[in-house]
Structure 1
Amino acid sequence: MSFNDAGALESQPTTWRRSDDPQYADDPEFQALTTTLSDKLFTLTSSISRLNNQISLLGTRRETDRVRERVQDLLQETGDSFKDIGEGLKRVSAWEDLGPSQKYTQGKLNQEFRASLTEFQVLQRQALEKQRASATAARTALEQEEAAGSQQQGGGQQQQQQVQQQEPRLADQSDVDFQESLIIERESEIRNIEQSVGELNELFRDVAHMVHEQGQSLDIISDNVTQTRDDTRNADQQLRTASRHQKSARGKACCLLLILVIVLTVIIVAAVLG
């Protein structure tokens, strides 16, 4: 086999070169699962970006009920996606008989998932803090409004004035009840976010443990590759040294042979002349 043929063979995919070796063969199921998880992680990146844009509107003049609804929906959908991907990563981490390239893919997915999850958790906390501040401000304003209404009713008002003001008061009470229902709904959303934060914190710990284990495996693979490279370099150096020694030995042998020929020639010539 020529050098070019050997180089062409080396450049072929690992599965083509070593399809008879389970360590190097691709597992179709493993490849399909990791590809699906990678696609889902890419989609999560877009969801996190949209969530960040919506959360930035909370606490500003552009905050509306629709904005809060979108934030809540994105938090729920993205959190569910993280849980789904997390279950898939647990399957990947439990996969047995993986080759070096598959272990690399395994570790890379875990690290990417952890980075995205960390970014999402930061947004979760931001949304939670802004929702709490908004709910607290709304409840304080409502309580002040109710207190002001009670003071207006507490004076010595005449019966006719009470009758005239009865209808506006009923309208005010209806608005108060509506605001109260909105605050209760917002507080329920806050509790949902808090619950999701707790669940994802547990998922983060699981993934961190998997990343730690995969990191150790990748370190071992890296060490083995480094050791193999060093061994190859040492072997090449030894071959070069042996080649130099062999050339030197051949040179010395040629010199000795030449000297021997000269000596024999001198002896023969001397014998003939004598």
Structure 2
Amino acid sequence: MSFARLSSLEAQPTTSRETGYSDDPEFHRLTQSLSSRLFNLTSNITKANHILTLLGTKKDTPEIRDRLQKLLQETRESFKQIGEGIKRVQLWENASPQQRFIQEKLSREFTAALPDFQAVQKLSVEKQRQYVIQARSALDTIQHEGDSHPPSPGGDGETMPLVQQQAAQLQLASQSDVDFQESMIQEREEEIRDIEEGITQLNEIFRDLGTMVGEQGHMVQRVWQNIDNTRTDTRAASRELTTAARSQKAARNRACCLLLILAVVLLVVLLAVLT
């Protein structure tokens, strides 16, 4: 479908002047909900990117990482639900030209947002994995060194990255604190597995939707081709009708002329006979 067609469809009204309602209220409600949720997803991706910039810095805290994990989980579930909604929209029966335009618009917005979120998830996995490696290394060192002197932090605790702060604290920690840190590491590893699984699931949704959109695109293209063919045939038929009408008019004119000539001839004959 050409850009000109899309623009013309976008300019067309989607409501009936007589009733004031959309052509299909259910379709309207579904697409409006999906559009709103897609906007929220974009906002979540922006928030996640901001939090990722804090990881590995002096502002890095367990609370920040938990917040990021919850945000990613929430956004991942929303993507799955919206993906199902987009599929439902794509399979809408007897879609009008305006509805087909909305179908394509939602698909474009969804497919544009998904790679951005996948990039956020991959970066989150990378930073979580770095944290796990550093935290486990610090924990193993402390467990092997036992009562050795703690490493110099090299500055105020508030300016130290999260892993260095925790390593310094573990030097003086009790066994319960060490066990707690071990559980935190395991929790981060579980989060990494969850994110990687989510990446795979969203990739499958992306592929399924891409296949569906491709099929719908071919279908829409065939529809527009049929419309073009119909318009061409209609114009040709109109030209033929015009030609036929002109031919009939010319034939009538010729017939009228012949009748007039016959009438004149007949009149002349009658006058000749009568005189």
TM-score category of the 2 structures, normalised to the smaller one = 0.5 to 0.7
Number of residue-to-residue matches in the alignment:
213
**DSSP 3-state at the match of 2:146:** helix
Which residue number corresponds to residue 59 of structure 1? 56
Q: Separation in 1 of the partners of 2:12 and 2:89?
A: 26
Which residue number corresponds to residue 209 of structure 1? 211
Between the aligned residues of both structures, percent identity stands at 50
CA contact 1:106–1:214 (8 Å) conserved in 2: no
In the TM superposition, what is the alpha-carbon distance from 1:46 to its structure 2 partner? 0.9
Q: Separation in 2 of the partners of 1:122 and 1:107?
A: 23
Which residue number corresponds to residue 90 of structure 1? 87
Q: Separation in 2 of the partners of 1:178 and 1:33?
A: 46
In the TM superposition, what is the alpha-carbon distance from 1:126 to its structure 2 partner? 0.6
Pairing partner for 1:45 from 38, 42, 46 = 42
Output aligned runs, 1:91-130, within 5 Å: 91-130=88-127
Output aligned runs, 1:183-262, within 5 Å: 183-221=185-223, 223=225
Q: Separation in 1 of the partners of 2:48 and 2:172?
A: 40
Worse-superposed segment, 66-75 or 171-180? 171-180
**DSSP 3-state at the match of 1:56:** helix
CA contact 2:90–2:213 (8 Å) conserved in 1: no
Q: Specify the code of the residue in structure 1 equivalent to 2:42.
A: T
Which of the two has higher C-alpha Rg? 1
CA contact 1:104–1:218 (8 Å) conserved in 2: no
In the TM superposition, what is the alpha-carbon distance from 1:214 to its structure 2 partner? 2.7
Q: Separation in 2 of the partners of 1:14 and 1:195?
A: 40
In the TM superposition, what is the alpha-carbon distance from 1:215 to its structure 2 partner? 2.5
Unaligned runs of 5+ in 2: 1-10, 150-169, 244-275
Q: Separation in 2 of the partners of 1:80 and 1:33?
A: 18
Which residue number corresponds to residue 139 of structure 1? 136
Q: Separation in 1 of the partners of 2:235 and 2:54?
A: 59
Worse-superposed segment, 67-76 or 181-190? 181-190
Closer/same/farther in 2, CA of residues 230 and 119 from structure 1, 3 Å limit? farther
RMSD over aligned Cα atoms: 3.5
Q: Separation in 2 of the partners of 1:123 and 1:89?
A: 22
Q: Separation in 2 of the partners of 1:46 and 1:81?
A: 12
Q: Separation in 2 of the partners of 1:32 and 1:104?
A: 16
Output aligned runs, 1:11-50, within 5 Å: 13=13, 16=16, 26-50=23-47
**1:78-117 Cα deviation digits (max 9, x unpaired):** 0111111111112112211111121121122112111111
Q: Specify the code of the residue in structure 1 equivalent to 2:25.
A: P
- Which structure 1 residue ranges, 4+ long, deviate > 6 Å from structure 2? 225-236
Give TM-score scaled by structure 1 length: 0.66
Q: Separation in 2 of the partners of 1:14 and 1:194?
A: 41
In the TM superposition, what is the alpha-carbon distance from 1:14 to its structure 2 partner? 6.4
